A and B are shown apart, each in its own frame.
Chain A
């Protein structure tokens, strides 16, 4: 015969206690005895217990008592029931067992007489079908593992056959049924674990002692997990439950493992904790980071406590082999890591706290299907997303248009130096001297592309169209809700004349800015439009830091961007600053970060303001005679741009959108940006600079203001009749622009100065025979005379072209050499490190004669394609630049600044406000019960 004593431990749990008690008392197999323990509740729990068990059936404990202490107190007082198999049924105040739970538990106990501990299947208190756990195990990191997916619903999928029981390492103490003799034998729950993991510890010891622990799936209990979810205050400890859980997890693990295994585990967990701490810091969850450190610290710094606990668990360690197979498999660790990455990407923070009883997810604001990296049905959702479809389509268009540029030898031409070298060359260049900062960005990207600079450049430049389409689609998520409009907008943006011009001329600087521009627009909207008070306005602040960082990247590639954004930012500050608090500060952050990150380089630009018009790569002038109609149709001119009628559809639709009386303010702002952009483009163009960046701004303004009105088209269509025809016409005109642009681009084959199979400017002999510090003088015949540059033993990497010039003395010597006047010109050049003179075809005969007649130079080769001469006299190698201490410190400083800005801009946990609304309204609780 069984004799079951139900022990209900209550602590400020009156919200659940009524239902719990009712459930305990309504069991189909009634409990034999019921005892209530009140750990000093202040909410009337004691009275509820008294109502249920009678005044004498309630034990009063001090408020700070733990769960184990309470149970011990009861068991100590509990008289033995001779002749019966005695059972203790532990009930939390927030755990209501099903009416037949005890019946099933005892039935299982009868079936498996060697069983010492049984537990029901736990489901969520509110969401009644949600599975919490069916027995638990432990990972080697001490993490409590339920083996369940996040938010898994109980459809019987974990119900074990045969006979509804599963052998598990442990069951939760909520609803745990313990044989009393085993309790006495093992000394019961460890009172040193007042709150969490006491169940795990106890079951471990029971297992190690050779008993079975079963989860009975037929028995169900609903558990609110009030303590770990912080639905109530814990009195047993002042610490956060998360920290307690983590600390006790480690403690249980260390106390029960055999010595050597423990040492290994300790080491593993220490390293793991440090990594996690860093991740938490990056995710800006400093509280988590502190908890993590405190937990591992409390284990490490209290060896005596651990020793005492281990002493008491000799038996447990002896039975380790019985327990070991029950640990969670290592593959689970990888799954957790993946979940962690997913969580971080979806903005939920790098990992959920290890203190929870299961993988709870905050049902926060779902990004819905917009998020490409969601966790379930990844592939299916990916290809259902219009954004991805658009990206694939634009990629196909780009491949078709750039078919001649995709494969082959060196990629270069226009503004792009033939792309050679790898990430290490870029890093060496950037760390070796005062190099333009975009070199660092490219070096980072090249490192990500396995050190292959050509791949990084190809992705940025040749992938400019699909990437800008994707960024336009994603970035406008927050302010254009009508999805077809976003598709149209992104496609039109990606195929603007600016984009095709960027590709054809190899303007990598404009390409980067073009890809980032929609992101700027999105972040700037967040910075400006957040109306919440400053103290809660973390989203806007983060957006400000992110905007600052990306602005720094864009400015490094095309400094003119900064001027433009600064002007727009100032205008915005003037119009919003008074209305919305914090906007000024956030704008200051956004505009200040680039100044901070690019400081010294911007200082050199201030000294030479003309350079503000230059972008990354080789200097390339543009005709100052760009036609006014081209400027108005957002066509920057130059190679790769379509005829000006290609964008006529966009303009027509944009003007038409003005007639709709919706979003008037934003439409006005958009048109304002467009007109300012075209005006700026005019100014810039007249200064012989390619007006790609301002025109991209103008186009963005135009597209946003048009797309905002696009949902009216859908209304027209629904209206039917003439309006339906009108809607059809509008859509036709609107999509004419991207379709025409794509068609023209494909027909044009992205024709321009950018070419594949560019001849290496450095002859192989010179490359092979140049010693360090020696240079090759490259002289080319141009329309305006001769041009020259100096190559240093290899094809220059991107950014080297912005090195300080050699100066007029050197130029005079080159001119003298080219004139053939004899004298000391060649010797002077040799004194500056020139060892070779290379002249690619077409070779001017006069130049060839001059070089041939120079006594201190010898010809190595001369063919139709190139000539190469060598200095026969002594060549003084150019001294490597002196080690610049300032530069080194600046690099360190820049690195630290970037990391800080990254941390400040990184998306942390998405909804910091959830804690404030955690309390569940009383009304709902009643309904749920």
Chain B
């Protein structure tokens, strides 16, 4: 050893051998490139839901919680002086309210919150307000979008309710066919806690024939809903998904009548929107209406009647610029009624429709579309009385739409749509039609994600959150 160290090359050789050994150790111990594991969000039952029925006067209000969560809970329906409580999942609570009832808050906690759904449906057979007008009771939020006919085409009323304990500062932005409407009265609406107000949109923007409306709050939250009374009929405009590059408008029924699509580009740049219809037998671009150009800040109408009337459908819009979209369904007959559907999210976590009926005159249709990949769903009916029928399994091939005529107890029922594990994204809508003297009554509601589950994101405590991540 000593001689080795004292020899000049011996030392060099020793060192080189050692370095080689270290290299070997480092080489062998080097792990394979790790695939970054993305932690998936976890489903968790919703623990509390608060929803507001905007104008229940003269309408039938339905509230239901599907029986899917364990434990106890309570639903509190703040029906004026005589609040009702429900603590049994799967049981429908239905009541026709007296005219002039204030907005009604439905609040559920615990197991009763998991999937709570409420809706109001008004059926008027005479007068200017003749028609079926239904709306899903809305969650208070900071941002809501509505797309439909404008104040020049009829009476449009915006129902605002602040059921929170903090005041809400509401601002309205109206987009018309000619561009964004600059209105003085559109902002600075202050709603005190517990206050509700009806805004006549004619006073905000009198001229638009078609409009997209954005209701947002600077602080606080508000429950917003829009009721449209046009010469063609009355209904509520459902809340649509916010501006996105891909919008799916589901729930076009397979019945006759006009279909009119509204597309708005609320951003700074013009949008070129590809329009596709997902029908029973496939997904098609509509002839001569493959694309529609939407100038920045304005709303464009597109008549789809010749393409999709008579077949259940969903409309898929894609654009490089975020757009919002809504659709008008006009019933048949001498005196028409209208219904509105709008852009909706996929119902990955399931969906509940509170109110559906099936009698001699009334037909409830469930329209389910799978625009991307094949989907499998289970449809369960929750009757108001009697035993629940067996769940129906529905398979929707990729890029197809299926319509199910819901057959249930005459007294009314709720519908639970639950995609099976591994199913592709499903969009849907429920349309209720009633044969009435003078013409068909119709109302529609796109399927919203049930308030059953929520995705709990993976969360870690990390002191380095004080720093912005390197981009």
A: residues with CB less than 8 A from B are 412-414, 417-418, 618-620, 624-629, 631-632, 655, 658-661, 664, 667-668, 671, 675, 678-679, 682, 686, 753, 758-759, 761, 778-780, 782-789, 791, 795-796, 800-802, 805-806, 810-811, 814-816, 818-825, 840, 845-847, 849-850, 852-853, 855, 858-860, 862, 872
Contact = CB atoms under 8 A, between A and B. Distances in A.
A804 B190 CA distance: 43
B141 interface: yes
B304 to A, nearest CB: 29
B465 A789 contact: yes
B141 A853 contact: yes
B386 interface: no
Nearest to A782: B469
Contact of B48 (A682, A805, A822, A852): A822
Interface stretch (B174-182, B214-222, B260-268): B214-222
A681 B100 CA distance: 77
Given A761-B467, A796-B466, A821 B26 contact: no
B467 A418 contact: yes
Contact of B461 (A664, A795, A806): A806
Contacts of A849: 141
Contacts of A628: 23, 26-27, 30
Nearest to B142: A852
A497 to B, nearest CB: 16
A791 B466 contact: yes
Contacts of A816: 44, 47, 456
Contacts of B422: none
B50 A822 contact: yes
Interface in B433-471: 454-470
A335 to B, nearest CB: 51
Contacts of A682: 22, 25-26, 29
A801 B45 CA distance: 33
Contact of A785 (B18, B459, B463): B459
A786 B459 contact: yes
B65 to A, nearest CB: 14
Contacts of B465: 761, 778-780, 782, 787-789
B22 A820 contact: no
A244 to B, nearest CB: 60
17 contacts: A413-B467, A624-B31, A628-B30, A632-B26, A658-B8, A682-B26, A686-B31, A785-B41, A786-B459, A787-B459, A789-B464, A795-B466, A818-B456, A821-B46, A822-B48, A822-B50, A852-B141
A34 B141 CA distance: 117
Contacts of B6: 661, 664
A859 B169 CA distance: 11
Contacts of B31: 624-625, 686
Interface string B319-331: 0000000000000
Interface string B111-146: 001000000000000000000000000011111000
A753 B26 CA distance: 27
Given A823-B109, A849-B141, A872-B166, A632 B19 contact: yes
A10 B115 CA distance: 115
A661 B7 CA distance: 8
B165 interface: yes
Contacts of B16: 655
B459 A618 contact: no
Given A655-B15, A675-B18, A858-B220, A789 B36 contact: no
A618 B467 contact: yes
Interface string B199-226: 0000000000000000001111100000
Given A413-B470, A801-B466, A845-B242, 20 more contacts: A624-B34, A625-B33, A626-B30, A632-B26, A658-B11, A678-B26, A753-B470, A761-B466, A778-B465, A783-B469, A784-B39, A786-B460, A787-B462, A788-B461, A788-B462, A814-B461, A819-B457, A823-B46, A823-B48, A855-B50
Contacts of A626: 26, 30
A414 to B, nearest CB: 8
Given A629-B23, A682-B22, A821 B466 contact: no
A442 to B, nearest CB: 17
Contacts of A619: 462-464
Contact of A818 (B36, B45, B457): B457
Nearest to B163: A855
B278 interface: no
Contacts of A824: 47
A96 to B, nearest CB: 61
A740 B126 CA distance: 89
B360 interface: no
A800 to B, nearest CB: 8
A821 B47 contact: yes
A668 B5 CA distance: 8
Given A682-B26, A759-B468, A819-B454, A789 B463 contact: yes
Contacts of A810: 461
B274 interface: no
A786 B463 CA distance: 12
B457 A786 contact: yes
Contacts of B33: 625
A805 B458 contact: no
A784 B22 contact: no
Residue of A417, A845, A855 with most chain B CB atoms under a 10 A cut-off: A855
B388 interface: no
Nearest to B36: A783
A586 B439 CA distance: 104
B44 A801 contact: no
A681 B454 CA distance: 45
B459 A823 contact: no
A822 B49 contact: yes
B38 interface: yes
A852 B139 CA distance: 11
A823 B220 CA distance: 18
B164 interface: yes
Contacts of A791: 466
Residue of B15, B50, B242 with most chain A CB atoms under a 10 A cut-off: B15
A699 to B, nearest CB: 14
B461 A811 contact: yes
Contacts of B12: 655, 658-659
Nearest to A848: B142
B454 A820 contact: yes
Residue of A620, A678, A823, A860 with most chain B CB atoms under a 10 A cut-off: A823
Contacts of B29: 682, 686
Contacts of A823: 46-48, 109, 113
Contacts of B47: 816, 821-825
Contacts of B5: 664, 668
Given A659-B12, A668-B11, A789-B462, A821 B50 contact: no
Contacts of A785: 39, 41, 457-460
Contacts of A789: 461-466
B44 to A, nearest CB: 6
A859 B456 contact: no
A798 to B, nearest CB: 11
A336 B23 CA distance: 60
Given A682-B22, A822-B50, A858-B166, A811 B139 contact: no
Contacts of B142: 852, 859, 862
Contacts of B455: 819, 846
When A and B form their complex, which 10 residue pairs have the shortest distance between CB atoms, in order from nearest? Answer: A823-B47, A822-B48, A801-B463, A785-B458, A628-B26, A787-B462, A852-B142, A761-B466, A815-B459, A819-B456
Contacts of A855: 48, 50, 140, 164-165, 221
A791 B39 CA distance: 26
A872 B218 CA distance: 16
Contact of B460 (A686, A759, A787, A845): A787
Given A412-B467, A668-B11, A753-B470, A675 B457 contact: no
